[in-house]
């Protein structure tokens, strides 16, 4: 299996250290509903997982919940609700929506459950000279880590600009360098707090994933990733604060997923230009919703339109139709199609190419094949499952009206 590695800037072989293959994906900050951009990211890592499982590998997959975050506390104040209640509601809704499109379950640790470990990690960074305290805050000293910026390949000026855009405040006068990032900060009166050598407070965003990933999966993760908006500053900073304390790399392979747009603009909670998973499954079967996602390569940004869903529903209907008949394929043709299907997935997760193979299986063959022909139905069902599309033999017509969901 070959995947593009952000750090190497090339497609290269996936080389896990052992069994199980370990996979860490940065999870949600649960202050609003999951949108199509989230679904696309988690769909990609779900397909990677399913491909590995189909190859007979075991997978240990972790997706954290960032339940300590400025945005959560801000939204809780705006809505006049308890932050913990907001997190519980949004996580529950997210889990239901991911389950509705057959995203496989993963381990889901909460950041708040690992704060004492984060305090210890920051203390070790300070002792090693990679962190410094200021006014109850602790900053990572990026000048001490000479590889800072290597993952993203950005210039210093570009990193400063992105830091400002992401709310990291490069103009903070307490910082030795504008690129230094927060490891620990005082809590506001209505925010949760934990004891630390620098005063009661809470961790910064980046330290959460370093601690959770290494706690759950060991010093080096086989595959680490998320949306490509996390390359800088999040994953860049994760690498710095982790590898400052260990000789081993944080990840063997970095995989990032392109953004989903609406009308040419990146979907984001802040802009409010969102299409939600529930919108898709209210109009089409879950398998069709997954086909909307699989029709796009994970490294190419795309803009959602209703035509995407119409096309996916028609494709899903055709595939389901292959289950309801007794079509058979020539054995050599069936074997070649299966090889090509996996070859497409193994070539940097070419899901559009894999869909094309399944299109051919669904429409080729005939009822007049010799008795030795390979039935198309089980082959279709097995291969479509690798991309997370569960087929229903009765769903042979595209829906023209939204169906009711409870």
Question: What's the confidence (pLDDT) of residue 365?
Answer: 64
Q: How far apart are CA 183 and CA 140, in angstroms?
A: 6
Are residues 250 and 292 both part of a single domain? no
Both 11 and 157 in one domain: the answer is yes
Distance CA 58, CA 32 (A): 33
* DSSP bridge pairs for 320: none
CB-CB contact of 389 with 84 (8 Å) = no
Q: Residue 270: what pLDDT?
A: 65
Nearest to 208 by CA among 114, 71, 321: 114
Assess whether 301 and 172 both reside in one domain: no
CA pair distance 232, 150, nearest whole angstrom: 10
**Residue count of the chain:** 406
Query: Nearest CA to 251 among 4, 77, 7, 29?
Result: 7
C-alpha torsion 129→134→138→144, nearest 10:
-30
Buried b (16+ CB within 10 A) or exposed e, 315-354: bbbebbbbbeeebbbbeebbeebbebbbebbbebbbbebb
Q: Tell the burial category of 154 from Cβ atoms under 10 Å away from its Cβ (0-12, 13-18, 19+).
A: middle
Is residue 401 a part of any domain in this protein? no
Q: For residue 70, give the CATH number of its domain.
A: 3.40.50.620
Domain containing residue 295: CATH number: 1.20.120
**pLDDT tens string for the chain (406 positions)?**
999 999 999 999 999 999 999 999 999 999 988 789 999 999 999 999 999 999 999 999 999 999 999 999 999 999 999 999 999 999 999 999 999 999 999 999 999 999 999 999 999 999 999 999 999 999 999 999 999 999 999 999 999 999 998 888 999 999 999 999 999 999 999 999 999 999 999 999 999 999 999 999 999 999 999 999 999 999 999 999 999 999 999 999 999 999 998 877 776 666 667 888 888 999 999 999 999 999 999 999 999 988 999 999 999 999 998 887 788 899 999 999 999 999 999 999 999 999 999 999 998 866 555 567 889 999 999 999 999 999 987 665 444 333 333 3
Kindly state whether residues 292 and 255 are assigned to the same domain: no
Q: Are residues 312 and 187 in the same domain?
A: no
Beta bridge partners of 63: 25
Please report whether residue 165 resides in a domain: yes
pLDDT given at position 276: 87
> Which has the closest alpha carbon to 324: 375, 399, 385?
375
| Residue 367 is assigned to a structural domain of this protein | yes
Q: Is residue 147 part of a domain?
A: yes
Q: What are phi and psi of 10, to 5 degrees?
A: -160, 160
Residue 140 within any structural domain of the chain: yes
Task: Count up the domains in the chain and report the number.
Answer: 2
| 256 and 340, same domain (yes or no) | no
Q: How far apart are CA 22 and CA 86, in angstroms?
A: 30
Distance (Å, whole) CA 265 – CA 194:
39
Which residues constitute the domain of residue 360? 286-386
Q: Rounded to an integer, what distance in angstroms lies between the CA atom of residue 118 and that of residue 64?
A: 14
Residues 213 and 114 in one domain: yes
Same domain, 31 and 101: yes
Task: Based on the fold, state whether residues 329 and 211 are members of the same structural domain.
Answer: no
Q: Which of 212, 228, 261 represents a domain boundary (last residue)?
A: 261
Residues 222 and 318 in one domain: no
CA atoms within 13 A on the CB side of 160: 9
For 31, phi then psi, to 5°, come to: -125, 0
Backbone torsions φ then ψ of 129, nearest 5 degrees: 85, 15
Residues β-bridged to residue 138: 133, 184
Does 148 map to a domain? yes
Residue 124 in any domain: the answer is yes
pLDDT given for residue 303 in this prediction: 92
* pLDDT score at 351: 98
Q: Are residues 110 and 187 in the same domain?
A: yes
Domain for residue 360, yes or no? yes
Question: Does residue 204 share a domain with residue 107?
Answer: yes
Q: Do residues 361 and 337 touch, judged by C-beta distance below 8 A?
A: yes
């Amino acid at each position: 299996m070959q995947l593009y590695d952000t750090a190497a800037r090339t497609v290269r072989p996936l080389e896990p250290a052992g069994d199980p293959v370990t996979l860490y994906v940065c999870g949600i900050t649960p202050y609003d509903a999951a949108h199509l951009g989230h679904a696309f990211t988690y769909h990609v890592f779900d397909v990677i997982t399913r491909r590995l499982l189909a190859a007979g590998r075991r997978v240990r997959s972790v997706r954290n919940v960032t339940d300590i975050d400025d945005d959560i506390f801000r939204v809780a104040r705006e809505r006049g609700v308890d932050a913990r209640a907001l997190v519980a509601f949004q996580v529950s809704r997210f889990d239901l929506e991911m389950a509705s499109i057959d995203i496989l379950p993963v381990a889901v640790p909460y950041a708040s459950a690992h704060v004492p470990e984060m305090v210890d990690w920051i203390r070790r960074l300070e002792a090693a000279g990679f962190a410094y305290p200021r006014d109850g805050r602790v900053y990572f000293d990026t000048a001490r880590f000479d590889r800072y910026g290597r993952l993203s390949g950005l210039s210093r000026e570009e990193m400063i600009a992105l830091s400002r855009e992401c709310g990291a405040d490069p103009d903070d006068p307490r910082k030795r360098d504008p690129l230094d990032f927060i490891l620990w900060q005082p809590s506001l009166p209505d925010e949760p707090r934990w004891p630390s050598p620098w005063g009661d407070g809470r961790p910064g965003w980046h330290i959460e994933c370093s601690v959770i990933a290494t706690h759950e999966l060991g010093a080096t993760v086989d595959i680490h990733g998320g949306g490509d908006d996390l390359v800088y500053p999040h994953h860049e900073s994760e690498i710095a604060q982790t590898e400052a304390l260990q000789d081993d790399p944080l990840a063997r392979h970095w995989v990032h997923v392109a953004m989903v747009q609406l009308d040419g603009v990146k979907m984001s909670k802040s802009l409010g230009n969102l299409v939600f998973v529930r919108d898709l499954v209210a109009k089409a079967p879950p398998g069709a919703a997954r086909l909307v996602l699989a029709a796009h390569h994970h490294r190419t940004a795309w803009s959602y339109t209703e035509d995407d869903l119409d096309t996916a529903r028609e494709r899903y209907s055709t595939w389901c139709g292959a289950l309801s008949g007794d079509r058979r394929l020539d054995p050599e043709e069936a074997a070649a199609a299966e090889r090509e299907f996996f070859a497409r997935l193994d070539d940097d997760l070419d899901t559009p190419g894999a869909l094309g193979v399944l299109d051919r299986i669904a429409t080729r063959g005939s009822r007049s094949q010799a008795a030795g022909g390979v039935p198309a139905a089980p082959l279709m069902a097995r291969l479509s499952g690798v991309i997370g599309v569960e087929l229903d033999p009765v769903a042979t017509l595209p829906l023209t009206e939204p169906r009711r969901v409870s």
